[in-house]
Amino acid sequence: MDNAFVLDFLRRLSANNNTAWMQAHRADYVRARDHFADLVAEVIRQATPVAPELAELTPAQVMFRLHKNDRSQTDPEPYKRRFGSGLVPGGRHAERAGYYLALSPGGHSWLRAGRFTPTPAELAAIRQEIHYSGDEFHRRIEDAELLAHFPNGLDRSAPQLTRPPRGYAADDPELPWLKLKSYGVGRLFSDEETLRPDFIERVVAGIRAARPWVGFLNTALDVA
């Protein structure tokens, strides 16, 4: 694996994000994709002792396409600026919480853990679990090991409800958390960090730290 080549390819793609450039540099794309696949395979291999549910995954099951599937009419770029993967039992699109690893230049590489695009039914289930098991919810999101790897804690920066969700009172003590539409933690890595020999070790340590939090969400989703 060669993270430096992956980041360099993505830098060049960011400056030339069009189909003609990609066609002319397809060999570099394939090489970068394969290097990222090697990284993902090694993360899975090293993470399996701490997260056995990831053992059967392959890069092909977890890697996202570089081509955008949801490009709007105002978005002229056909390609994402990152290589990404969803380390989730059942594959990248499985409807359960998991771990997400991406390489992107400029300090935008990241590890995330949680359920980031829950369906309305999943949101209802997560909110119910928080309402019924508030103490356990706080134990998971305030865990010292989790916060050592994800110091910003549960991400509350994404759009959220302005009013209490249906069925919950305005004075519910968990209301700030019940209004969320996405439930995850995340951290960024600088380009220099992605090139360090211990990068995979740090990713695996983050997965280990986040596993109890991911388990809480999958209990709520009844897929633990």
Q: Which parts of the chain register pLDDT below 50?
A: none
pLDDT for res 1:
82
pTM of the predicted structure, to 2 decimals: 0.94
pLDDT for res 72:
58
Local structure of 127: helix, strand or coil:
helix
pLDDT for res 224:
61
Q: Provide the token pair at 80.
A: 């994402």
For 22-49, write each residue's pLDDT tens digit: 999 999 999 999 999 999 999 999 999 9
pLDDT for res 31:
98
Contacts 24+ apart (CB under 8 A), 32-35: 32/5, 32/6, 32/83, 33/63, 33/66, 33/83, 35/1, 35/2, 35/3, 35/5, 35/6
